Amino acid sequence: MTALSGDDKTYVAVAVPVPLTRAFTYCVPPHLSESVSVGCRVAVPFGRRKLAGYVLQYCTVTGAQTEIKEVAAVLDPEPLFTPELMNFLREAAGYYLYPLGSVLRAAAPAMRSEAVEALRQQGFLAGKEHLGGSRIKTRKITLVRLCAAPESERLGKTQEHVVELIRQHAEISLQELCRQQKNARTVVRSLIQKGLVATVEREAPADPFFAAALPSEPLPTLNRAQQAAVAAIIHELPDPGKEVPKSEPGAARPRAFLLHGVTGSGKTEVYLRVIAEARARGLGALVLVPEIALTPQLVARFRARFSDAIAVLHSGLRPRERFEAWRGLREGRINLAIGARSALFAPVNKLGVVVVDEEHDASFKQEEGFRYHARDMALLRADRAGAIAVRFCTGMTWRDNNKADDPLRSMATFQASRTSLASPGRITVRLGMARRAAICSTGW
């Protein structure tokens, strides 16, 4: 790391979760110079307290200053926030005039228990001192998968049944097998001896939405209105190989779409097809739905279409469950997130499409702590990430969204079709630029 000051020391600007809009300068000790980077979470002394802060940028120290304290430790093995997500959060904090450190804490997952314990062993934390926030511990589950074709082996009826269950799901937890077959553990051991299956341990997806494995579902046939909507949206998907230019408020960006249709009109299938195409192009997707609409049935539909390569984020998650979903997204193992308003902060890599379903729902407004409107911020995030935004609305909100003086709405209209979409009514698509004027800057 190249030093950014005349005294050959490296300094960083750190946002801490206190009711102040400024960042604070800390010195990076030599043994952490390779670990500290923009977007990472660090432990720092702050007055008489010890806090978890977030590195915003490297900075230069000039002139006479009071003693600059050092970063004590890096709390995560890699940065929590991608550059795209960090820039979005800084802009959101400026727009809502909320302390950036508190915004970043609201968006960040829980801390690892081992990182906090290491600070106690180092003497940074003593007695009842803590960094604030929640901590997580992990547990393991055993997954079973096929590793050889069973045609050459003579199997009993129970063994054949277990093999068929595994084949249907690619891999399945031993716990789930035991629920469907009484003596599954004994059967799996015998299949392992025959070399037909293998087991692997993995951190458990404790989210109840993933409690049971699901087989894949066949694709339904789209009607004319759905085909027109899907074709229009896919046409505007960004090029994954093209670098997103620096965002500026009001600049020409990829299009935003507004789809209108009654409940049950087939809107969900439209964005499922768009997400499938985005993922095929190597792009990530983010889906925001009202809290009440985030049902096991909806998640099951996503899982049946995209297997378990999705992250579900909602208010009922325990800290460890949210951490696992966050880590899967941040590491790139998962590139599809679905959830309520807090899913807006999911670290989806190569974000290509942002969906807001039932955008008129009041639950998209966060009323405590960092107050924001997830619908508006979804438009902003899509705009700044170079992604497309797809919004769905019904009823009165359609007339509200047709206001010509609203800068977030479209400039042109595309009538998809008058064909019914699985229920009386029609689906209409509005195309236009997602714009937000006069976005503030945080100053850092």
Any domain includes 83: yes
Angle in degrees, CA 411, 416, 420, rounded to 5: 140
C-alpha to C-alpha distance for 444 and 442, rounded to whole angstroms? 6
Whether residue 88 is found in the same domain as residue 162: no
Whether residue 295 is found in the same domain as residue 323: yes
- Could you tell me the CA-to-CA distances from 163 to 144, 168, 197, 313, 338 in Å, in that order? 10, 9, 8, 32, 32
**10-residue stretch averages of pLDDT, the chain, 444 residues long:** 58 94 92 92 92 92 77 90 93 94 92 84 82 67 79 78 82 84 86 85 58 63 88 87 54 69 79 93 93 80 83 82 86 91 93 92 89 92 92 62 39 29 39 33 35
Any domain includes 215: no
Containing domain of residue 396, as a range? 224-433
Whether residue 344 is found in the same domain as residue 416: yes
Provide the pLDDT for residue 272: 92
Any domain includes 419: yes
**Residue that the structure tokens 């990076």 belong to:** 28
**Domain-terminating residue out of 101, 135, 169:** 135
For 205-251, write each residue's pLDDT tens digit.
Answer: 555 455 455 556 678 888 888 898 899 999 989 877 666 554 454 44
Per the structure, how many domains does the chain have? 3
What sign has the CA pseudo-torsion 215, 202, 38, 51?
Answer: positive
Beta bridge partners of 51: 44
CATH code, domain carrying 402: 3.40.50.300
Whether residue 17 is found in the same domain as residue 164: no
CATH code, domain carrying 54: 3.40.1440.60
Whether residue 100 is found in the same domain as residue 172: no
Any domain includes 211: no
**Domain-terminating residue out of 96, 111, 135:** 135
**Judging by beta carbons within 10 Å of its beta carbon (0-12, 13-18, 19+), is residue 29 exposed, middle or buried?**
middle
CB within 8 Å of 157: residues ≥ 6 apart: none
Provide the pLDDT for residue 406: 38
C-alpha to C-alpha distance for 39 and 56, rounded to whole angstroms? 6
Whether residue 156 is found in the same domain as residue 123: no
Beta bridge partners of 285: 336, 353
Whether residue 114 is found in the same domain as residue 160: no
Is the separation of the CB atoms in 440 and 95 below 8 Å? yes
Model-wide pTM > 0.75: no
CB within 8 Å of 398: residues ≥ 6 apart: 260, 428
For 87-108, write each residue's pLDDT tens digit.
Answer: 999 999 999 999 999 999 999 9
Any domain includes 239: yes
C-alpha to C-alpha distance for 38 and 145, rounded to whole angstroms? 39
Provide the pLDDT for residue 428: 47
Provide the pLDDT for residue 212: 53
Is the separation of the CB atoms in 21 and 442 below 8 Å? yes
One DSSP character per residue, 201-259 reads EEE----GGGSS-----PPPPP-HHHHHHHHHHHTTPPPTTSPPPPP-TT---SEEEEE
Provide the pLDDT for residue 30: 92
